[in-house]
Structures are given as C-alpha cells and as structure tokens.
Structure 1
C-alpha cells in the first residue's frame, strides 16, 4: 500500500476544505470497504481525512413529519431506532440484512451509499475494468458474471450496485443532503446513483470534496406497511442475488398505493416504475403481481451466467407482493 497521510477533522468546513483542496485526498468514516480497497491498490489516495468526529450521526424529526438520518449514523443504531422501525420498517430490515453485526456497528449510512461495486474484476487490478480504469474494457461481459446486473447495463459495465439500504431509500423517494466546496444540495435518491452508460467510472453526481451529511425520509404513511426481502446464496452474510423493497396499501381488494424497488439485479438501486404502473388500482392478486413483474423485467439483458436472475427477480417480486397482501388481510 502506498504511503498515506492521515488527519482528523473536527468540523464540517475543515473536512470539506481539506479534501477539496487535494484531488488525491478522500474522506474516511467507518472504512469497512474503503480499507479493503486500499490494501489491494484499487484506491490509492494520498491523504485520508477522518470525519468520525463530525456531528452528523443524529436521527432527527423533520418539520414535515419525516426523519433525517445523519450521514455518519451507524447502520446498527439506525436499524434499532424505534421511530424508524415503526414508520419505515423496510429501511430497518434492509439495514439488518445488509451486513454482519460487526460491520453494522462500524459502517455509516453515507458510506453504505457510497460503497463501490463488488465485481471481482473491479477488485483485480490486472483485469480490464472500465469503472476502475476507464477505457480498458469490461472483463465481466464474457467472464464470470453470475452476480452481475441484468437491468441498467451498458456495453461498458454490468456491475451490480451492492447496497441494500439504497434499495429501500429509492422506494421511499428519500433525499440525500450534501455539503461541498459550493452550496449545500438536496439530491433526490434516484438521481444520486448514475447508470454506467458511457462513463461507468462516475457513480454519483458529487463533486470532489462534497460530503453526504444526511438522508431525509419523507412522510410516507404507506411506508409503515412495508418490508425488504433479500435472496442470497447463504443467510449468514452475503450480497443479494435479488431483493425487493415493497410498501403497499390495499383497499377493497385493490391496490391503492404501492412503492417497489429492486436490488441485486441492476447497476443502480432500481425503482420498479413499470411494475408500479401495472399495479396501481389493480386487484391484489397473484395474476396482477405476475404481470407487474413481467413488465418490469421485460428490458432485462442477461449475460451468460446471470440469466437466472431474470426469473429469480420475477419470483421475488411476486413473493414480496403476496406477503404484503397477506399482511393486509386480503387473501
């Protein structure tokens, strides 16, 4: 590992100023993924600015009835917050399923959103990877790609976004709060994650030195009737092969409101808008759920070993919606 200088910031302005002044510097919080990438030379910053002392770990009520989650709040603390569990259970479930207890005690919410992809070729500095080294190619296209994406891909990258938390946040239309060298910004969560397109190396719209300070959950009554389902190779600790965040309300046997997002199958946390459109006002039946899943996955593009994900995602969507209707007492 190349020599790295270290400093500890005690206020937000100092942290932002130090990182923005040096293009080879970066923030350090929980470090649960970042330190691994340093060790294998995937990331090689010249300076790490520790931000763990910044006052950004609180969970606060918003005037409109929503919740603000501090960017440096630990996953474990947020998952156990009673108001979050009551009003946004899918977020608590996504946090609990997103990492082992040891990692949840260290990892921050902002770090979870900013974590890098888990593609083997991204982590192998000898392999071609447009995300790590733009213009070198994508080894995953014709390589070992069982865990890769079938939605939102391009000829330059098919890596799957790894965050479970982000899937729930996308379903809820959360807003990411940032501060940087310029003005503070509020970024809708679906705009916070970029499709690979022609520039897979650019995963977020953040400027260098821009810091995620918080995540706002809007007041969403239907979110109290929500859950997060994750399908993976092993239950102990593993990334999603397919996951679904769903919130749904049923009135008179018909779906009056639904929020749906997918994980494990796309290059970014995937809002299932085609499925939502099919479900809006439809009977809360397995037939409706099947049509919604098929509509959402119609544009999916398999790449060899990951073709099974299309059927897996379809079944996971149907299972999640069936379980929600059972909770509503309509079946």
Structure 2
C-alpha cells in the first residue's frame, strides 16, 4: 500500500469522525433552540439515510442483495431484530442522551460501548482480561467518574436521565457492533445498514406519528441543520469510514475515529457554550484513552477481538 493511499485513508476517517462529532452538536442545537423532538429527529434521520443507502446499493454491484435479504427467511428475522434492538436503539438512546444532557457527554458515554463489549467477551470466553483490557476498564471507570462528577463525588454535573440514556446508548452500541456479523458478511454493509435504518425509522415513525411536525421552529437554519444531520452526520461519514478500510487497518480506523468525541466536545463548548471544566477534560481524555488501550490489545494475535468479525 502506497503512502499516498494510506494518507487518503487517514483523511477519510478523520473527516468522518469530525462530521459524526459535529452532527451531535447540531442535533443539540435543534433541540435547544428550535424545539425539535428526539422522536422526530431520529425517525427522519433513519428514514432518509436508509432510503439513500438502499438507492446507492441498487446502483452498485451487489444490487441483488437489496431484495435478496428480504426473502432470506432466518436472515430477515435477524435483520428485523438488528433494526430495532441495534440500529433504532443506538440512535434513539444517543439522541435522548443529547436531549437530556448535551452532545459532548452523550458522545463520550456512548464511547463506553467497547468496554461493555470487552466485558461480554471476557465472560463469554471465560478468559482472564489482558493488561490492555484492564487498563481500558480502569480508564473507562475513571473517565466516567470525572465526566459525571466534575471531581466532586457528592454532586453530579449531568442529570440522572442523561447518564442513564448515555449508558443505555453504550450498551446498544455494544450489541450493534456484535450482532450483525453474519448479516454483514452475507449481504454487505450498505444493504444491511440501509434496511436497518429504514425499518427502524418506519417503526419509530409509526409509533410516534412522525408526520406531525407541529411545535417545531422551522426556519432556513433548522432545515439546513436537519439536512446536515442526514447527509453529513450519517450518509457521507459512513461511506468515508467504510471506504477507508481499503487503505488502512481496522485498528488504525478505530484510533482515528476517537476524534469523534473530541469534535463533539469542542463544538459543544465553543458553539453552544456547554460548561466543561478541568475534570471533565480529564474524563474525556480517559475515555478516549480506552480506544488506544483496546487497539493495542487488538494488534496481538491472540485474545479477545473487538472487530465486527467476532461472533
């Protein structure tokens, strides 16, 4: 692999992580300043992104998979489960955490997902954790403590509901990472994620009557923000991230993707003036450090793997 190709892969992941991080802050702005609801934002984001991904899949080489997965029997049932407990759950809990708190803490708490995944594999494989895994767990616990207390154990800096939704988002992310392994291998990522988004969006839309758009403050700014979340917060970064795997290793993409919570924190603090003190920044660095610790573990030939291929 040439150095120019690797640089291209690095740039793809960095841009994707920044866009993901910024989109959370854009969502927070819509909720705080334009009275947008979590239900509506999540449903529309999933519906629009799912349709776009499936349309792109129909134009690609694996277009037969778009309809094939619907006729696959057991795989279709897996797809339904992943759509609700994976895709919809991880999107809804993340946006609910933003609404209850802010984009910075919601993104950081969601990044605890790999730690839950480590615990799952340790229990499943009945193996003692490695030094890297223990380091990641310690960093995760310490980072969460500083993030939610600001260094003062007698006081929470975020609401209990924001903490609960954030941890639920991390658990949903862990399931989202592990469960669709077989589906992704058989049908391709764009097809599986496209249908999962569409099915999850339809389910939430019907449950919450998304077609009712009263109460939200519509303006050119809010319209542009919604389009940004759909295109630059979902579709474009997804393609950049997946395509980057053609140029750099998965462990490198996971390291570079840790820029997402950093981008969310910086934009939330600078743009929306979210209060963030010294201990919150320490917590941020600790949680991001878990990614580096787990990536060191992934480089080893033996032990628990956090890759999407693990099942």
Q: TM-score range by the shorter chain?
A: under 0.3
> Which protein has the bigger strand share?
1
Q: TM-score, normalised by structure 2?
A: 0.25
Q: TM-score, normalised by structure 1?
A: 0.24
Higher RCO structure, 1 or 2 (CA under 8 Å, sep 6+): 2
> Which protein has the bigger helix share?
2
